[in-house]
Structure 1
Amino acid sequence: MNSIPLIDFLHLKSNDLDIQNHAIQKLDRACREVGFFYLVNTSIEKSEVNGLMSSAKAFFALPQSEKEAIDIKHSSNHRGYGKIGEEQLNEVNQADWKETFDMALDFPADHPLVKKYPGMYGANQYPQQSDIVEALQAYYVSAFEVSQVVLSSMAQALNLEANFFTRCFKDHVTVLRMIHYPPRPEVDHSNGAGAHTDYGCITLLLQDDIGGLQVKNVKGEWVDATPMKESLIVNIGDLMQRWTNDEYVSTAHRVISPESGVHRYSFPFFVEPDYETNVECIDSCRTENNPAKYDPILSGDWIQSRFDATYAYRETE
């Protein structure tokens, strides 16, 4: 992998089947060979992107006490604010030098799924500022629509029905996260986010122009995922790799903390299906000589196990 491929979202949606099929084939190669690609010409309005960026700067500039009033530790379903050092993505490295805010779909307390899976379903913890909440919700809706087109294209690339993946998103646990990477302290702390793979199906990442994201290529070298204006970076997650029997690769990546005086903001959109989605090897991804490598697992069980491994507050004695 010398570079990260570029996919045109409009081509994936094109009514011209030749254009659409060419884009789907290009996406398929990117998923197999790299696990990352840039996505351009999406349907997300620039005003929504700007609103989200402004909201992140406003939220993370709030007094620490106000942010910690919605600390993720207060949430049974992993929603709210995560302070610096709360998460450690690389389990053998130092804690991440970042602060976060997580939200997903709101489910009322009396919803059957909340009662059954309280660790994944429930209400969000929102900041008090209504304009920040509105910006988060607007971007969530738009990013989700983009994700469903990408998943439909992946299904077609794998010779499946177009709705093979998207049908699993009725009561999904897709998470929008805001991340603030403060300038690293004088004592070296370049570990903005430790080397890791993502847990879900795919991730749609919006990032500012600061840079710092690096992707590990097949030679084991770290390659910069340089910010590209008006684009998203899409990567394969662990669930999709399991589903496709390693045909689609969940690639390791990390974030280097900004230099002194620089703040970085990014917005991963973790596309994760319904908790009870049975992730089992796709028929088109296994043969007699290449049998299924993974046992079937419920999507939610997998994701919750990864939360437990990377967040100190979820560890049990």
Structure 2
Amino acid sequence: MEIPVVDFSAYELEKTNASVDHLERLSVELRKAFTEVGFVYLKNTGINQKEVDRVMGVSEKFFCLPENMKKPFSRGGFSSNGNHGWISVEMESLNPRRPGDLKEAFNTASLSSDISWPSEGVDDFRDVHISFYLRCKELSLRVLRVMALGLNLEAEVFLSAHKHIGSDMNGTTLRTLYYPPVNSARVKENQLRCGEHSDYGSITLVFQNPKGGLQVLNRAGEFISAPSIPGTVLINIADLMQRWTSDVYVSAVHRVLLPPAGDSSTRQSLAFFVQPDDEAVISCCDGSDKYPPVKSVDYLLSRFKDSYK
């Protein structure tokens, strides 16, 4: 089964309200996508390609800087937020059974005013990332509302656990990713650009450039391609949402393959990882005990422990 494309224009960011009928239609379409595949492409969300290109452009300038200019902004070097900052190539293994991933990343995990940001050679880095973070936040809240309706729940059920996005009481992160050219002669056995994994929180918003490689594991146990579709955002379910909904919404495993031999192109993507508030306790919303309750921040930290050496 291919990943469906859903028109979100009835509830796009520029619109203050959506009719009950439009929300009902959207909730049915999203439920179908998230129960059958775990991923969906949304078009007409209100986030346009120009915004995406701007973030990717300033991010690429940062990733192309010498390592000594990036190192001061390394993840783990900020006392107020341990997940904020730059991750170098092979530092992270999203599938711990594989060698380190062949990618770099920069996590915007804190909007705190006392966080230092790259500036030399990358004008507007901070402002561009924070602006896009806030746009993704607003779209995410709309999607979460529609998802609740798809389960015949109160519209605010999921939103009530996402009140602190953008503060240090919530782990939601905008991650810009850069996949440098691959030297086939130096690739380790079983190494990928990004190993197989599921995401950790509620949902993830993904924006890609045209260079492919992203694959999604469908319900039949087959990896299918998830190419870039201009003008869309790819959204997937993450682990805590699967627990929350007692496996109604499915957290799909995905990966990024190496490019074909001889292909020296780079790849870029943006991922907005939506996490419930740190102190939110996620338990099955149907009242079952299919999964034991877990605190959002505890689950997030346990997954970080697996991914970093």
Aligned 8 A contact 1:103 1:125 in 2? no
The residue matched to 2:124 in structure 1 has which SS?
helix
Aligned 8 A contact 1:181 1:257 in 2? no
Once the two structures are superposed, what CA deviation does each residue of 1:48-75 show, in whole Å capped at 9, x if it has no partner? 2121011111111111110111111323
Q: Which amino acid aligns with 2:284?
A: C
The residue matched to 1:32 in structure 2 has which SS?
helix
Q: Which amino acid aligns with 2:179?
A: Y
Q: Distance in 2 between matches of 1:142 and 1:107?
A: 17
Q: Which amino acid aligns with 1:93?
A: R
Q: Distance in 1 between matches of 2:131 and 2:273?
A: 16
1:126 correspondence with 2:117:
yes
1:269 correspondence with 2:261:
no
The residue matched to 1:50 in structure 2 has which SS?
helix
The residue matched to 2:99 in structure 1 has which SS?
coil
Residue 130 (structure 1) shift: 4.2
Q: Distance in 1 between matches of 2:203 and 2:118?
A: 27
Q: 1:2-21 alignment to 2 at 5 Å? A: 2-12=1-11, 15-21=18-24
1:214 correspondence with 2:212:
no
Residue 237 (structure 1) shift: 0.2
Question: 2:294 matched to which residue of 1?
Answer: 297
Question: 1:85 matched to which residue of 2?
Answer: 90
Once the two structures are superposed, what CA deviation does each residue of 1:186-245 show, in whole Å capped at 9, x if it has no partner? 224660100000001000001101111000112221100011001110000000001011
Q: Which amino acid aligns with 2:132?
A: Y
Q: Distance in 2 between matches of 1:267 and 1:186?
A: 25
Q: Which amino acid aligns with 2:156?
A: N
Question: 2:106 matched to which residue of 1?
Answer: 101
Q: Distance in 1 between matches of 2:98 and 2:6?
A: 34
Question: 1:161 matched to which residue of 2?
Answer: 154
Once the two structures are superposed, what CA deviation does each residue of 1:127-170 show, in whole Å capped at 9, x if it has no partner? 12441111101111111110000000011111211111112222
Question: 1:253 matched to which residue of 2?
Answer: 254
Question: 2:201 matched to which residue of 1?
Answer: 200
Identity of aligned residues (%): 38
Q: Distance in 2 between matches of 1:66 and 1:216?
A: 37
Aligned 8 A contact 1:80 1:125 in 2? no
Query: Relative to structure 1, is the Cα distance of residues 75 and 156 closer, same or farther in structure 2, using a 3 angstrom cutoff?
Result: same
Moved more, 243-252 or 9-18: 9-18
Aligned 8 A contact 1:56 1:265 in 2? no
Following TM superposition, the consecutive aligned residue runs of length 4 or more in structure 1 with deviations greater than 6 angstroms are none
Q: Distance in 1 between matches of 2:49 and 2:220?
A: 36
Query: Relative to structure 1, is the Cα distance of residues 163 and 130 closer, same or farther in structure 2, using a 3 angstrom cutoff?
Result: farther
- Paired residue total: 291
Q: Distance in 2 between matches of 1:47 and 1:281?
A: 39
The residue matched to 1:29 in structure 2 has which SS?
helix
Residue 10 (structure 1) shift: 1.6
Residue 46 (structure 1) shift: 3.5
Aligned 8 A contact 2:58 2:123 in 1? no
Question: 1:65 matched to which residue of 2?
Answer: 68
1:229 correspondence with 2:230:
yes
The residue matched to 2:272 in structure 1 has which SS?
strand
The residue matched to 1:75 in structure 2 has which SS?
coil
Aligned 8 A contact 1:175 1:269 in 2? yes
Q: Which amino acid aligns with 1:105?
A: S
Aligned 8 A contact 2:84 2:110 in 1? no
Aligned 8 A contact 1:240 1:248 in 2? yes
Aligned 8 A contact 1:200 1:270 in 2? yes
Once the two structures are superposed, what CA deviation does each residue of 1:288-312 show, in whole Å capped at 9, x if it has no partner? xxx4211101111101110111011
Question: 2:167 matched to which residue of 1?
Answer: none
Q: Distance in 2 between matches of 1:236 and 1:149?
A: 15
Give me the CA root mean square deviation.
1.7
Q: Distance in 2 between matches of 1:37 and 1:170?
A: 24
Gap runs ≥5 in structure 2? 165-169
Residue 107 (structure 1) shift: 4.2
